[in-house]
Amino acid sequence: MKNRFLLVTLLLVPALGCKGEEPPPPAEQKPAETRRSNIERIQMTVPYGKQAACTDVFDPAVFSQAIGDEIREMEDRGSSNKEASLSCAFHRAGEPPKDDAQLRKYEQEGLKLGVLPGDEYCMVTAYCSLAADAESFKKQCEQRGDSMNVSAVGQPACVHITQRGVENAYSYKVIDPETRCVLEVLGGPSVTDETLVQNCTRAALEDITPGELKNFR
């Protein structure tokens, strides 16, 4: 009987001793590493879907000086291009010819229909809600089959040429360094003078500023 009691006692002592031991400290947990996003947020000059008014951004007098002729009207065409931040057409001053005799007079003097009084000299469209950098701009230009002109307007320009009758028509596309807007400049419907389009492009680059694009709607 004594032997049985001694055996039970010996079996219970280790069990009671184990219960009194403190559990090992928990493993130290390292703070979770903050994951950095690879997405870079770029603040656009004009939010996508918003537009600025031509009268807030461009001064026809700047274009008159660049072209060497008076601008009669600056027409806002933003409603016809919702992708653009603004789109403005510049018209030559003066009254349009009203009859065939006047048209023949202009033709005899060697003037082109695209620059008759009242006609459109050029149209400037600005895209200010698209991220643009010089390298991708050049690459996309060349992929479209267009050519780069690095000196004609003071900024590298992508030049698109189309056939218009027996002559060529030109459009210039540039990145404005101050606003980061992509400016697209097209000659009027009958304009085939590349120099005129270049002059309009220079005027647009000179006239557009970030502060003037704040009043978008």
Instruction: Tell me which residue of 186, 115, 182 sits closest to 155, measured CA to CA.
Output: 182
Task: Report residues of the chain scoring pLDDT below 50.
Answer: 2, 5-13, 15-19, 36-37, 39-41, 111-112
Q: Is residue 14 part of a domain?
A: no
Q: Name residue, tokens 């002109």.
A: 149
pLDDT confidence of residue 43: 60
Domain count for the chain, please give it. Answer: 1
Q: Is residue 64 part of a domain?
A: yes
Tokens in use for 95? 């009254």
Q: Is residue 149 part of a domain?
A: yes
Alpha-carbon distance values, 29 to 25, 37, 108 (Å)? 12, 24, 90
DSSP string, 145-162: T-EEESSSSSS-EEEEEE
pLDDT confidence of residue 117: 84
pLDDT confidence of residue 90: 97
Q: Is residue 30 part of a domain?
A: no
Alpha-carbon distance 201 to 183, whole Å? 8
Torsional class of 168: left (φ above 0), alpha (ψ -120 to 50), beta (otherwise): beta
Q: Could you tell me the pTM of the whole model?
A: 0.74
pLDDT confidence of residue 6: 44
Q: Is residue 95 part of a domain?
A: yes
Q: Is residue 148 part of a domain?
A: yes
CATH number at residue 127: 3.40.1000
Q: Is residue 10 part of a domain?
A: no
Q: Is residue 25 part of a domain?
A: no
The residues near 40 (Cβ < 8 Å, ≥ 6 apart) are none
> Is residue 103 a contact partner of residue 117, using CB atoms and an 8 Å limit?
no
What domain range includes position 204?
54-213
